[in-house]
Amino acid sequence: MAPSAELPGRDALTSRIVPSMVLSDGSPSSLTAAPTSIIQADPHVGAQKRFSVRGNAVVTGGAGSLGLYACDALLEHGLQGLMIFDVNPANSQKEIVQMREKFPETNISTLKVDITAEEAVNEAMEETVRVLGSVDILVNFVGVVGCMESLEMPASQWRKIIDINTTGTFICAQAAARQMVKQGKGGSITFVASISAHRVNFPQPQAAYNVSKAALLMLKSCLAAEWARYGIRTNSVSPGYMDTILNEGDGIAHHRQIWAERNPSGRMGSPSELTGAIVLLASSAGSYINGSDIVVDGGAIVF
């Protein structure tokens, strides 16, 4: 087989130059400088500032149930501008209108975006900067699930799940990070992984989904190391089974029962129960959290 145009041939490997990561030195002039620690005289001011969310955010999959709750929470904590990327934002038009009414002083916009299309994502990120002025926070909710016996799964389904959940997340993170680097003020990136990234689900077989989410944990760690010097923190949240429309219907009633029975809390999670972790990682309280994964699953992971 002839060597590809993109990869060096075997003979060229011995003369290649491998890039090296550059870490921040944490100095006062760096983008990872320590914040000033102050105990506020006014407890209300202290509480407000601790979890304050500054700047503008892009939330991919923001028109879904979990995404909408997260958007609302970020706005409650001070987010100045919001851009929702979704393959079909019109599906949640009613909820988005209500959000605009609740936050009349905030610019809340939507874009129809296929996150697997690199050029489309780059253009959408540029449009976000034009509309909002900057990109300071990225939260990646977009993801698809496929439950199928691995012996029967066509490679096309495997590729689609990996392409959306893993590659699409990287494309969005890269586009957002490039803008954050241009701005020179750092930023926060949060991937929504899953408990499926930590262990095999039961009873449903879903190897492709599990692998796609496990890959996000390593991607999060890699980017946390590479991008810290730019003041960009990269973390993830791993939800357990959440009680959303994706987990409704008589067809999975037996599965829901098993999921609840195998959880110390005896139930699935509510969408609002994920918002605390999302706000934490995007807020000033998360300034020293980088490369972390927060599991929000009611304790199921202990088994």
- Clarify whether 230 is annotated catalytic: no
- Annotated catalytic residue 194: yes
Q: Which of 133-137, 142-146, 168-172, 276-280 has the lowest mean pLDDT?
A: 142-146
SS (H, E, C) 101-146: HHCCCCEEEEEECCCCCHHHHHHHHHHHHHHHCCCCEEEECCCCCC
User: Which tens digits make up the pLDDT trace of 81-134?
Assistant: 999 999 999 889 999 999 999 999 999 999 999 999 999 999 999 999 999 999
What is the percent of the chain with per-residue pLDDT over 90, rounded to a whole number?
75
Kindly report the number of other CB atoms within 10 A of residue 258's CB atom: 14
Q: What local confidence, expressed as pLDDT, does residue 6 receive?
A: 64
Alpha helices per DSSP H over 228-252:
none
CA distance 122 to 38: 39
Q: Which member of 69, 209, 230, 241 is catalytic? A: 209
Identified catalytic residue from 65, 188, 194, 283: 194
**Among 69, 213, 241, 283, which one carries the catalytic annotation?**
213
Structure confidence by residue, pLDDT tens digits, 145-163: 888 899 999 999 999 999 9
d(CA 15, CA 18): 10
- Is pTM beyond 0.85? Reply is yes
**Topology (CATH level 3) of domain 50-302:** Rossmann fold (3.40.50)
Q: Is 209 a catalytic site residue?
A: yes
